[in-house]
Structure 1
Amino acid sequence: MHFSVRTDIGRKRTFNEDQAAVFVLENGYALAVIADGMGGHRSGDVASEMAVRLMGEHFNDLNAAIPETKETWNEWLDSIVRKVNQLIFEKAQSSPEHEGMGTTLEAAVIAEGNCYIAHVGDSRVYSVSSDTITQLTKDHSYVNALLASGEITEAEAEVHPQRNWIMRAVGSERDIEPEFYHVPLKKEDYLLLCTDGLSNKVEPEMMRELIVADNTLEEKVKQLIDLANERGGEDNITAVLLASNDHGAGAV
């Protein structure tokens, strides 16, 4: 598995509350994690850093007992996300500085041609092939809830003043309900995880065009982030792009 991870502060923010990483086991299984923190007094970056680090630590401890089915991967992801939520919630309660902090979380395990995803918030996971891009996750956002109930249109959602409000975040409540997704990944497919700093600025079809172009993974991710910055860069921008060894050569 080849991958590229990049985060950028953007053009308007004074600090970066996004975090991302990829962790790989000895057997080649990989966990990609991305988190977009929120909260005052710079506590958003504390929440996102904790989420990514703790998910990675639990994944690296899996070598002795690795899940083998969709159900057991979902159970593992559910257990770990809930543990991470509890730790971030307790940290948020521990001092006024961190009160109210939380983070989005996308955790995607890639194992033997399958992708198992735990999702909280409005960061996103996409699968990308040569001719299609598919958003695998559904935003836990106020606007998406309005859209699902038919109260607003897609065009209205794109410009809604509350489009950045999220309905679910890791660490903001004592309990959390992650959503889970499972998709097969073909050898020629890419997997993209990104924060809304990218998805709010670059439409899916443009993402697909840049991803399937003849470049290394590092170049593809840099182009995605550069384009989001060119289009305003009001938010932090983070992307993780993964590919099979077949077409990820040269990228790490």
Structure 2
Amino acid sequence: MNPPLHIEAAGDSDVGHQREHNEDSFAVDLDLGLFVVADGIGGAAGGEVASRMAVDIVRSFCKDGEGEITQPTGYDEEVTPLELRLVSSIWRANERIFEVGQRDPLCYGMGTTFAGVYVDGSSACIAHVGDSRVYRYRKRRLERLTEDHSLWNEHLNTGEQLPDDVDPLLARNVVTRALGMGKTVDVATRVERPEAGDLLLICSDGLSGPVPELEIAELLAQESDLAATARSLIDRANQHGGPDNVTCVLVRWNAGG
């Protein structure tokens, strides 16, 4: 029997060079095994409110162990309890963000992307909505574990051409799913079995947009301290112009107790 793996994690966030406010939120909770990045959408303070609500509600739901957990329609009957709890927490966050957005004129239309990892024993459940991403760096190879819910990606997957009047750059930045966009939301999930040495990167598109994946992989290979690595990734995004808020959370599995 393999010995249990030890988890370490760190996160950081920055407003970037072209935004006045940081609408990203994140959580690093080693006790819960919960690691989250949310990228807010909406005018005024709405985006910041939505992203913070998403992080706080999901964290509270997972921490308290309370709240209704139901079998999601269309999910495999063998879906794990870990996955059910994470998905249920995201549904709860979506409902509340939508309710506040409908009720409060200052937050009307607010929403947020969500990318999170929930760890229990030898499993890691990954859940995401929108274009915040989760990557795995394993044996010097970077692999994207999530698929953007964006206008560009939807057309790419169906093989359809974008309309002539749609700017391809704009299409990459238009999300087709986000928490708060409607009363319900479709959450994409996958369950992974981490190995010793695995490093997961959860990030907003403030990193994945301006920084090529090759550069991300090079930075992950250079640093051993996770807090320093998160800062290096953010610095690189800002070197590329810092067009957006940028947030990174890193989770690493090490051999030993």
TM-score (norm 2): 0.86
User: 2:255 & 2:249 partners in 1: Cα distance?
Assistant: 18
Counterpart for residue 219 of structure 1: 228
Residue type matched to 1:200 in 2?
A: G
Secondary structure of the residue aligned to 2:170 is coil
Counterpart for residue 9 of structure 2: 3
Tell me whether 1:128 sits opposite 2:137 in the alignment: yes
User: 1:228 & 1:221 partners in 2: Cα distance?
Assistant: 11
Counterpart for residue 190 of structure 2: 181
Secondary structure of the residue aligned to 1:162 is helix
Tell me whether 1:59 sits opposite 2:62 in the alignment: yes
Tell me whether 1:39 sits opposite 2:42 in the alignment: yes
Change in Cα spacing, 1:188 to 1:171, as seen in structure 2 (3 Å) is same
Deviation at 1:148, TM superposition (A): 0.9
User: 1:84 & 1:214 partners in 2: Cα distance?
Assistant: 34
The answer (yes or no) to whether the contact 1:124–1:139 under 8 Å persists in 2 is yes
Trace 1:92-241 onto structure 2 (pairs within 5 A). 92-151=101-160, 160-241=169-250
TM-score (norm 1): 0.88
The answer (yes or no) to whether the contact 2:197–2:254 under 8 Å persists in 1 is no
Identity %: 36
Can you list the C-alpha shifts for 1:97-147, whole angstroms capped at 9, x where unaligned? 000000001121122232101110000001111321111011110000111
The answer (yes or no) to whether the contact 1:8–1:238 under 8 Å persists in 2 is yes
Residue type matched to 2:30 in 1?
A: V
Structure 1 residue ranges without an equivalent (≥5) = 64-68, 248-252
The answer (yes or no) to whether the contact 2:26–2:38 under 8 Å persists in 1 is yes
Deviation at 1:159, TM superposition (A): 5.3
The answer (yes or no) to whether the contact 1:70–1:182 under 8 Å persists in 2 is no
User: 1:172 & 1:87 partners in 2: Cα distance?
Assistant: 11
Counterpart for residue 23 of structure 1: 29
Residue type matched to 1:196 in 2?
A: D
The answer (yes or no) to whether the contact 2:149–2:175 under 8 Å persists in 1 is yes
Trace 1:61-76 onto structure 2 (pairs within 5 A). 61-62=64-65, 70-76=79-85
Secondary structure of the residue aligned to 1:166 is coil
Deviation at 1:152, TM superposition (A): 5.3
Can you list the C-alpha shifts for 1:160-183, whole angstroms capped at 9, x where unaligned? 332100000001211111011111
Counterpart for residue 49 of structure 1: 52
User: 1:214 & 1:199 partners in 2: Cα distance?
Assistant: 18
Change in Cα spacing, 1:83 to 1:133, as seen in structure 2 (3 Å) is same
The answer (yes or no) to whether the contact 1:113–1:187 under 8 Å persists in 2 is no
Secondary structure of the residue aligned to 1:233 is coil
The answer (yes or no) to whether the contact 2:207–2:234 under 8 Å persists in 1 is yes
Change in Cα spacing, 1:183 to 1:229, as seen in structure 2 (3 Å) is same
User: 2:216 & 2:250 partners in 1: Cα distance?
Assistant: 11
Secondary structure of the residue aligned to 1:33 is strand
Trace 1:76-91 onto structure 2 (pairs within 5 A). 76-91=85-100
